[in-house]
């Protein structure tokens, strides 16, 4: 990006890129268009600032930076740059932070949400930003929170914290309402214990750097080694029917007959609906019968559903 080109900037973490984030970027796009030949710039902290300030409180990531960048550009950003949350940066006063940021980029305007905080001890807010920008002849627009109805009829404000909570509880249908798309993770296929293959349901064991939904069985889509998405029965958990299991994500791709003994390929998984909790079965026959029922249910749910668009940026991350 040309450092001399005027930009309308927005600053934050943008984890998950939910509908509230999308509204901020869309507003920044409109302001940039009104101001003439201005670009839309998103400066996204990566990793989360708490990774520096209080590592033990760092929330699980909802998206990789590569996936965030792709989603933010889809929402209207011309450029997405990472902000490394070093302690010297986080200890700057709000005014110093803005001064140095606008020295790095040719900022002509800012767009932020109502809850925007910045500077040492989060001392700066949108009023701080408005006063500083007015003194430097820069435009500022503040975007109100975006509200959405959940499946339990509650009206909530979209936020990364709420989205994270919904995912942890396995409420992927509600997560979709906050995202405007299905919750998606990506990772690398690793060797497993091959129990699924022995039971007649071979699975891809996927190691993901981002937050997995709560333990359970889900209907969704998963990619094969070529990147094509297939209907899939998805399991998140520690395999309670077998001792010593570790928590993992497994995907059984319905209708795909390819080999699963090749490892290291990137896989993308989209969660559409939670089917049930994990359960322990004392007899393998009972477990196999339940897996058959799960797959039949997945087939019924997804037979009339178009596969989601791939997430190539996340799969490659």
Residue 316 has a pLDDT of: 42
**pLDDT band at residue 258, thresholds of 50, 70 and 90?**
confident
Nearest to 239 by CA among 292, 184, 187, 195: 195
pLDDT at residue 270 greater than cutoff 60: yes
pLDDT in tens, 80-124: 999 999 999 999 999 999 999 999 999 999 999 999 999 999 999
Dihedral angle, C-alpha 227, 232, 233, 238, nearest 10 °: 0
Q: What is the pTM of this model?
A: 0.94
Distances (CA, A) of 135 to 96, 99, 103, 114: 14, 12, 15, 20
CA distance 146 to 80: 22
Between β-strands 147-149 and 229-237, what pairing exists: parallel, antiparallel or unpaired?
unpaired
Residue 193 has a pLDDT of: 75
Distances (CA, A) of 161 to 13, 62, 70, 208: 12, 10, 21, 20
Segment among 170-179, 206-215, 235-244, 281-290 with least mean pLDDT: 235-244
pLDDT at residue 314 greater than cutoff 50: no
Query: What is the average pLDDT score of the chain?
Result: 93
pLDDT at residue 194 greater than cutoff 70: yes
| CATH code for the part of the protein at 7-148 | 3.40.50.620
- Number of Cβ atoms within 10 Å of the Cβ of 132: 19
Residue extent(s) of CATH 3.40.50.620 domains in the chain = 7-148
- State the DSSP code for 120: G
CA distance 72 to 11: 12
Residue extent(s) of CATH 2.40.30.30 domains in the chain = 189-315
pLDDT at residue 242 greater than cutoff 90: no
Q: How many residues does the chain have?
A: 317
Whether residue 148 contacts residue 177, with contact meaning beta carbons closer than 8 Å, is answered with yes
CATH topology of domain 189-315: Elongation Factor Tu (Ef-tu); domain 3 (2.40.30)
């Amino acid at each position: 990006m040309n450092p001399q080109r005027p930009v309308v900037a927005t600053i934050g973490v943008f984890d998950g890129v939910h509908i509230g984030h999308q509204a901020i970027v869309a507003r920044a796009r409109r302001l940039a268009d009104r101001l003439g030949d201005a670009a839309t710039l998103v400066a996204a902290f990566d990793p989360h600032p708490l990774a520096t300030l209080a590592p033990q409180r760092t929330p699980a990531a909802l998206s990789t930076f590569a996936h965030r960048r792709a989603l933010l550009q889809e929402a209207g950003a011309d450029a997405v740059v990472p902000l490394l949350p070093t302690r010297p940066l986080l200890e700057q006063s709000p005014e110093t932070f803005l001064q140095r940021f606008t020295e790095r980029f040719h900022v002509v305007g800012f767009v932020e949400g109502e809850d925007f905080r910045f500077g040492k001890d989060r001392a700066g807010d949108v009023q701080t930003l408005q006063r500083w920008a007015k003194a430097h002849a820069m435009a500022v627009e503040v975007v109100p929170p975006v509200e959405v109805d959940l499946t339990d009829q509650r009206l909530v404000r979209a936020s990364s914290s709420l989205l994270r909570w919904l995912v942890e509880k396995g409420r992927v249908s509600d997560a979709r309402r906050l995202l405007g798309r299905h919750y998606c993770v990506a990772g690398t296929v690793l060797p497993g214990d091959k129990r699924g293959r022995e039971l007649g349901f071979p699975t891809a064991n996927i190691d993901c750097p981002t937050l997995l939904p709560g333990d359970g069985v889900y209907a969704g889509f998963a990619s094969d080694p070529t990147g094509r998405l297939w209907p899939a029965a998805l399991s998140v958990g520690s395999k309670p029917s077998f001792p010593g299991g570790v928590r993992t994500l497994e995907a059984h791709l319905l209708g795909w007959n390819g080999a699963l003994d090749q490892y290291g390929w990137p896989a993308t998984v989209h969660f559409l609906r939670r089917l049930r909790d994990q359960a322990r079965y004392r007899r393998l026959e009972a477990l196999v019968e339940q897996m058959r029922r799960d797959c039949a249910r997945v087939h019924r749910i997804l037979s009339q559903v178009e596969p989601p668009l791939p997430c190539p940026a996340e799969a490659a991350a």
